[in-house]
Structure 1
Amino acid sequence: MAAPQKKTRSTAQKALIRSALETETRFVSAKQLHRRLEDEGASVGLATVYRQLNALARGGDADTITIAETQLFRACAQTEHHHHLVCERCGTAVEIDPPSEDWMRQIAASNGFEITHHVFEIFGLCAECRASG
């Protein structure tokens, strides 16, 4: 009988983590999201947060990037391939259009490559972080 209880807890924790991520407007680490959930009184382990965030990313429900060797996550509302302009300090992200697919194919072909996939993110500092020094 413990198995159904565990399944219920897992499902509840999954929903809690998904909901918390959906309210974030920036990319956050598993540790940041875990800390927020604890501050809000939720009882969820850090390993569970990591597992659920990675599952969301694998399922296409979250975007993931790496900054300074830290994996960050953001809820993904778009179902199609997209890209971001990301603040390296606070994680704020803006969805952007990349250079055209034709440009990418042309650059690849002129260098003897055939594109199998691409990752395109631009990193910098947002206006608020620049203003705060």
Structure 2
Amino acid sequence: MVATSELERAIKDRFAEHNLRYTASRRAVIEGLKAADGPITLPRLLDSSPELAQSSAYRNLGLLEEAGVVRRLVHGGQHAHFELAESLTEHHHHLICESCGLVRDVTLETELECTLDKAFDTLAEAEGFVTTHHTVDLFGLCSTCR
């Protein structure tokens, strides 16, 4: 995980690049995402950060996504999930429950991640494609829904 001071500096740099001010509302959104145990829906974010107004939280999530601070995950559930952008934190994947909508972060062992990178690069090269990154999401049922 990235140290808090490094994360704050990187976020401030992204804000500056996009001419955004680091307002109290945007800081509250980011703090709510940092405190979450994984990707979080807007309703859960609002529950965990009562100082946030729904309209400003939703608007700020969109601005933060455009600035590359937040990543929106849409997996066909009732609500999109949001998390801090991987470029600010660490590379990871997701386990997604098709029943309850739970989205959980998972990090693979370095050796397995390297094997996947090589396989994806080989596949992309065969297609004349240049990759910049990858995401792997596994869909199924969580332990509660099984």
TM-score, normalised to structure 2, is 0.60
Residues 35 and 131 of structure 1: is their aligned pair in 2 closer, same or farther, counting only changes over 3 Å? closer
Aligned to 2:45: 33
Aligned to 1:51: 59
**Is residue 93–residue 107 contact of structure 2 (8 Å, CA) maintained in 1?**
yes
Matching of residue 23 in structure 1 with residue 23 in structure 2: no
Residues 98 and 54 of structure 1: is their aligned pair in 2 closer, same or farther, counting only changes over 3 Å? farther
Residues 121 and 55 of structure 1: is their aligned pair in 2 closer, same or farther, counting only changes over 3 Å? farther
Identity %: 15
Structure 1 residue ranges without an equivalent (≥5): 1-9
Computed over aligned residues only, the root mean square deviation of the Cα atoms, in angstroms, reads 3.0
Cα distance in 2, alignment partners of residues 27 and 93 from structure 1: 7
Output aligned runs, 1:1-133, within 5 Å. 11-38=23-50, 42=51, 44-68=52-76, 70-76=79-85, 79=88, 82-88=91-97, 89-96=101-108, 97=113, 99-110=115-126, 112-125=127-140, 129-131=142-144, 133=146
User: Of Structure 1 and Structure 2, which has the larger fraction of its residues in strand?
Assistant: 1
Deviation at 1:123, TM superposition (A): 2.1
Q: Which has the larger radius of gyration?
A: 1
TM-score, normalised to structure 1, is 0.65
Residues 83 and 98 of structure 1: is their aligned pair in 2 closer, same or farther, counting only changes over 3 Å? farther
**Is residue 121–residue 131 contact of structure 2 (8 Å, CA) maintained in 1?**
no
Aligned residues: 117
Query: For each residue in 1:71-97, what CA deviation from the matched residue of structure 2 results, as whole angstroms up to 9, or x when unmatched?
Result: 211234753772313233322212333
**Is residue 86–residue 92 contact of structure 2 (8 Å, CA) maintained in 1?**
no
Cα distance in 2, alignment partners of residues 99 and 71 from structure 1: 30
Cα distance in 1, alignment partners of residues 86 and 130 from structure 2: 26
Structure 2 residue ranges without an equivalent (≥5): 1-21
SS in structure 2 of the partner of residue 35 of structure 1: helix
Deviation at 1:108, TM superposition (A): 2.1
